Amino acid sequence: VILSGGLNNRYWVLDVGERPGHKTLTISCSKSLHPTETCLLKDGCLISGTSISSSIRCMRRFFMLIDYCSFDGGSKQMLNGTMVHEVFQRAATAKDFSLETLSKLANQALCSPQYLGDISLYVCLCLNDLTPSNSKARTRCQDLATVVTVAELADIEENVWSPRFGLKGKIDVTARVRIQRPRSGSHNTPEERTVPLELKTGKESNSIEHRSQVILYTLMSLERYNSEAGFLLYLKTGNLHPVVASHMDSRELLKLRNTLVHHIHNCVEKEAKRSRLSRLPEIVTDRQTCQYCPQKRNCALYESAADVREDVVRDFLEQETGHLIPPHLSYFSHWLLLCCLEAASMEAKNGRKRVWLQTAEESEKNGSCVGNVQLSGPVTVQSEGVFLHRFQRSSVVPQKGLASSGLASGDRIVVSDQEGRLVGLATGYLSEVSMTSISCTLDRDLSKFSGVLFRLDGDEGVIGLSTHLTNLSRLMENCQDSDRLRELVVDLRPPEFISNLSSVLPREAKDTVANILKGLNKPQKQAMKKVLLSKDYTLIVGMPGTGKTTTICTLVRILHACGFSVLLTSYTHSAVDNILLKLKRFRVGFLRLGQGQKVHPDILPYTEESARKKGVHSLSELEQLYNKELVVATTCMGIKHPIFTRRRFDFCIVDEASQISQPICLGPLFYAKRFVLVGDHQQLPPIVQNQEARSLGMDESLFKRLELHSGAVVQLNVQYRMNRQIMSLSNSLMYEGRLECGSERTATALLTLPFVLSVQSELSSYSKTHPQHDLAWIQPTLLPSNPVCFLDCSTVPALESVEQGGVSNPTEAALIHKILSLLIKAGCKPSDIGVIAPYRQQLKSISALLQSSAFTGVEVNTVDRYQGRDKSLIIFSFVRSTTDEGNLGELLKDWRRLNVAITRAKHKLLMVGSTKTLRLFFPELLHHIIQLPPAAHEALPSMSL
């Protein structure tokens, strides 16, 4: 934005207005003259110190936040740097820089799982870099008479979020130093200051980047320590350089920071209602700078994608993107745009900003925050880097129960002080929440802050779209793997198959495979065959209830028996573990990668973590662990794991592939020769927040994109879940009759209600005593022999309410509550019942009515959460009862969501909704309508359970 005073003019601030969440400035370029302008200061974007200092040479680098080290392992020097940092920090904490200690620490660092995980580990620590005499680190000030001595260590790896400057970062060492200035004559006591100390293990460059980093850290810690300067400590020489942040330096760096933020917020621009990628900051085209830039490919890709070619950079672009043809570039730029749009939507609802934009009181009202707490009792060290803290409400403020805070054990939290001076002090997990106290494990020891008032905020974490972008960028790489994948994914080259099974099937595996195949039905066997014959990929359509998990499990067993290596993935941990839980019953070994906290308890013994506990002390032992199993399982996001710097697989299987967005789904495919996508695009698509991104096709999964090659598709259409009537509803809605029952037993299975007769007689006697109520409709509703019922509430006064939190319909909720109590009384097990609604708000109002213990076991959940699962009896609440289709809402209009909802039921499906709304788009329902009398939900008796 250029203000009226011109690009770089100066302004007077005439007035400052404070509003919640933002400030307004009234400014003018002349004190006495008009035009005044109003600036709105808001938002809470924090930029890291390193991002800013690395942008000094080239601002573009910042926008290409793609971490290559995750797949090439990084350089020797970087690894060395990380390790020496740690050795120094540990030695400093122990206040011991003796050679013995240093070498002990260095050995520990070499064996620490963190570094062992890096397969490219072949670094020897240069211990002589850290000799004791150097570590005392005297300054070489210009002003030789000034002496700085490090008196005490205040902190290491301190995490700072500074909303005031919009900066964040981690400070290597925070030190208390004594500064003795030469003053003529008299007694001068040394000044004490707490300052940031930045360690560098490379060449002593004292470069502008290094110095800027220190200046930024100094700014960040201004509010904490009032530090005026920081220090650069080069460990190779032991030299300590003071870096005094001059006003101008700080100002320039903050201006750079602001420019970066401006570009972030404006990475997409609208033109004639259509969004497109904005221009990035100008390309530097300085051979010297660009030659070694790790981001040059992305830089060139972006430039080519933006379709603005300048002559100066043509050869640079040619060099980096010459191997790509226009469709490749447009695929890249299309998805880049989609990701930018989506990122903006995700950033908008990023809850982390609340920590500094809202007071604790405000935040507490919205839930997931507890303010005014103090440390109580000592901090105990649970394990390396895990500190157990206990907090209590400060007695100063009126007590409010902590349990009602919206925070629950297991939640991720951020700890800050109440005042907003120490933001983001620590992060961790809540372990216990009681009425009076909260305990949690944090990544830092906060014992030195006893007496400080804290606030704990729930932290959803910020996951940008960096994995998406990394995968997209990788797809464009000039190498064999990427070329092939690009051909298949972007050019849509038809997949090839070999004709003869005998060439892939080892003779000795034939019997085993034949044995495994025995338990499968026809389409499942076909799927196995197709996969074995594939040279590129196979798509398996798993319609509802067709034994998708079993099929995948069997596929893995067969591939395993043939000696093929398999990478097994899905988007969610639970989907991965679902297959593994089945797989572990057979003699198939596997390695499960991923955080223990997220892994199913029964799968934990197969994780890397637990294998390590048995002892991995050397690189070769680690390699053994990584290479031992033919089958490796992880989530699609888990591909940053170091195992992938080396290992490749014969097959990659992606489950729930129709729910994964293209860039994410690509990730694991880089590591396998062939892949298998399993899904069903008639079920739920990937969730996309941004409306425009969705309309531009971001919710198209790779599964759906590749489905146009029907030769690669196998359909599992024999299902063992639904009885005939429920299945035919789905068939007419979605599958055009292709879905079949696997057996007559499946087709005719009904709900068992042992006491249905007694409930019915109870109802009829109730009818007699209450003749004013028409209860004729309830009999067919309850009857198991009537598997599909649509209860039409259109005669019942609609109570649909649209609130801020979502949509709910109390009438439907009340009706469901009463019918449920009848069904349970009739002998239906609560655990056999699922209640589904499209909206969370509706689930809340239903759950509120099901508090009595008779209902425990009834699972109330969203359609989305129910995907992949089933129940004997499903009650689905449509909630919406509008006649205006335009007002229906996107969720219900999506047929795929409706399809998922109705196919969760095995034996009986009760739908509650309004025909007014539904006949608009689902006429098949009309065959199953049960017309409700007015006030049906009130007329029904409340059964005592």
* 26 vs 862 by CB, closer to DNA: 862
Does 655 bind DNA (CB under 7 A)? Our answer is no
Q: How far is the CB of 205 from DNA (least distance, A)?
A: 7
Does 206 bind DNA (CB under 7 A)? Our answer is no
Does 44 bind DNA (CB under 7 A)? Our answer is no
Does 203 bind DNA (CB under 7 A)? Our answer is yes
**What residues between 273 and 292 interact with DNA by CB under 7 A?**
289, 292
Among 9, 38, 77, 278, binds DNA (CB under 7 A): 77
Does 865 bind DNA (CB under 7 A)? Our answer is yes
Among 55, 139, 201, 212, binds DNA (CB under 7 A): 201
Does 24 bind DNA (CB under 7 A)? Our answer is no
For the record, the structure tokens of 644 come out as 């992938």
- Applying CB under 7 A, the span of 72-80, 312-320, 510-518, 921-929 interacting with DNA comes to 72-80
* 580 vs 739 by CB, closer to DNA: 580
Does 106 bind DNA (CB under 7 A)? Our answer is no
* 699 vs 740 by CB, closer to DNA: 699
Q: How far is the CB of 521 from DNA (least distance, A)?
A: 30
Rounded to a whole number of angstroms, the CA Rg of the chain reads 32
Q: How far is the CB of 556 from DNA (least distance, A)?
A: 20
* 213 vs 658 by CB, closer to DNA: 213
By C-alpha distance, which of 881, 865, 874 is closest to 919? Answer: 881
- Applying CB under 7 A, the span of 78-86, 100-108, 665-673, 780-788 interacting with DNA comes to 78-86
CA distance 429 to 443: 9
CA distance 932 to 54: 68
Q: Is residue 442 within 8 Å of residue 427, measured between CB atoms?
A: yes
Does 799 bind DNA (CB under 7 A)? Our answer is no
Q: How far is the CB of 50 from DNA (least distance, A)?
A: 3
Q: Is residue 425 within 8 Å of residue 455, measured between CB atoms?
A: no
Q: How far is the CB of 370 from DNA (least distance, A)?
A: 20
CA distance 172 to 158: 7
Q: How far is the CB of 466 from DNA (least distance, A)?
A: 9
**What residues between 326 and 385 interact with DNA by CB under 7 A?**
346
- CA-based max dimension of the chain: 109
DSSP 661: B
- Applying CB under 7 A, the span of 456-464, 516-524, 774-782, 818-826 interacting with DNA comes to 456-464
Q: Is residue 379 within 8 Å of residue 446, measured between CB atoms?
A: yes
**What residues between 580 and 599 interact with DNA by CB under 7 A?**
594-595, 598
Q: Is residue 53 within 8 Å of residue 207, measured between CB atoms?
A: no
Torsion of CA 295, 298, 302, 304, to 10 degrees: 110
Of the CA atoms within 13 Å of residue 340, those in its CB half-sphere come to 24
Cβ neighbours for 738, distance < 8 A, ≥ 6 positions apart? 543, 715, 717, 731
Q: How far is the CB of 723 from DNA (least distance, A)?
A: 27
Does 139 bind DNA (CB under 7 A)? Our answer is no
Rounded to the nearest 10 degrees, the angle between the axes of helix 548-561 and helix 573-583 is 60
By C-alpha distance, which of 148, 138, 133, 140 is closest to 102? Answer: 133
CA distance 488 to 126: 47
Does 199 bind DNA (CB under 7 A)? Our answer is yes
Residue 30 main-chain phi, psi, to 5 deg: -135, 140
For the record, the structure tokens of 614 come out as 């048995």
In this structure, which amino acid lies at residue 630? L
Among 48, 120, 380, 437, binds DNA (CB under 7 A): 48
Torsion of CA 376, 382, 387, 389, to 10 degrees: -20
Does 75 bind DNA (CB under 7 A)? Our answer is yes
Among 120, 572, 627, 786, binds DNA (CB under 7 A): 572
DSSP 406: S
For the record, the structure tokens of 699 come out as 């919710």
Cβ neighbours for 184, distance < 8 A, ≥ 6 positions apart? none
Among 5, 202, 742, 827, binds DNA (CB under 7 A): 202
By C-alpha distance, which of 742, 756, 698 is closest to 334? Answer: 698
Q: How far is the CB of 516 from DNA (least distance, A)?
A: 29
Does 198 bind DNA (CB under 7 A)? Our answer is yes
Does 844 bind DNA (CB under 7 A)? Our answer is no
For the record, the structure tokens of 750 come out as 């009904």
By C-alpha distance, which of 270, 282, 276, 332 is closest to 304? Answer: 332
Binding mask 689-718 for DNA (x = CB under 7 A): x-x---------------------------
- Applying CB under 7 A, the span of 15-23, 146-154, 201-209, 606-614 interacting with DNA comes to 201-209
The three-class DSSP label of residue 425 is coil
Among 60, 90, 168, 908, binds DNA (CB under 7 A): 168
How many C-beta atoms lie closer than 10 Å to residue 601's C-beta? 8
Q: How far is the CB of 687 from DNA (least distance, A)?
A: 4
Q: How far is the CB of 85 from DNA (least distance, A)?
A: 6
**What residues between 617 and 646 interact with DNA by CB under 7 A?**
635, 637-638, 640
Tell me how far apart the terminal alpha carbons of the chain are, to the nearest angstrom.
Answer: 67
Applying CB under 7 A, what is the total number of residues that bind DNA?
74
Does 85 bind DNA (CB under 7 A)? Our answer is yes
For the record, the structure tokens of 841 come out as 């708000």
Among 109, 807, 835, 898, binds DNA (CB under 7 A): 807
Cα distances (angstroms) measured from residue 658 to each of 463, 588, 661, 929:
21, 27, 8, 32
**What residues between 478 and 537 interact with DNA by CB under 7 A?**
none
Q: How far is the CB of 100 from DNA (least distance, A)?
A: 24
- Applying CB under 7 A, the span of 135-143, 461-469, 485-493, 919-927 interacting with DNA comes to 461-469
In this structure, which amino acid lies at residue 685? P
Does 237 bind DNA (CB under 7 A)? Our answer is no
For the record, the structure tokens of 342 come out as 């989506």
Among 839, 855, 878, 922, binds DNA (CB under 7 A): 839
Cα distances (angstroms) measured from residue 368 to each of 22, 43, 402:
22, 20, 11
Q: How far is the CB of 807 from DNA (least distance, A)?
A: 5
Q: How far is the CB of 236 from DNA (least distance, A)?
A: 8
* 298 vs 746 by CB, closer to DNA: 298
Does 461 bind DNA (CB under 7 A)? Our answer is yes
Q: How far is the CB of 187 from DNA (least distance, A)?
A: 39
Does 306 bind DNA (CB under 7 A)? Our answer is no
CA distance 851 to 128: 68
**What residues between 871 and 890 interact with DNA by CB under 7 A?**
889-890
Q: Is residue 569 within 8 Å of residue 543, measured between CB atoms?
A: no
By C-alpha distance, which of 271, 294, 272 is closest to 65? Answer: 294
Partnered with residue 392 across adjacent β-strands are 374, 437
- Applying CB under 7 A, the span of 5-13, 367-375, 687-695, 905-913 interacting with DNA comes to 687-695
Among 11, 62, 64, 81, binds DNA (CB under 7 A): 81
For the record, the structure tokens of 430 come out as 């809540």
* 19 vs 76 by CB, closer to DNA: 76
Q: How far is the CB of 771 from DNA (least distance, A)?
A: 40
For the record, the structure tokens of 713 come out as 């598709």
Dihedral class, residue 200 (left if φ above 0, else alpha if ψ from -120 to 50, else beta): beta
Does 864 bind DNA (CB under 7 A)? Our answer is yes
* 290 vs 716 by CB, closer to DNA: 290
Does 230 bind DNA (CB under 7 A)? Our answer is no
By C-alpha distance, which of 531, 857, 802, 795 is closest to 678? Answer: 531
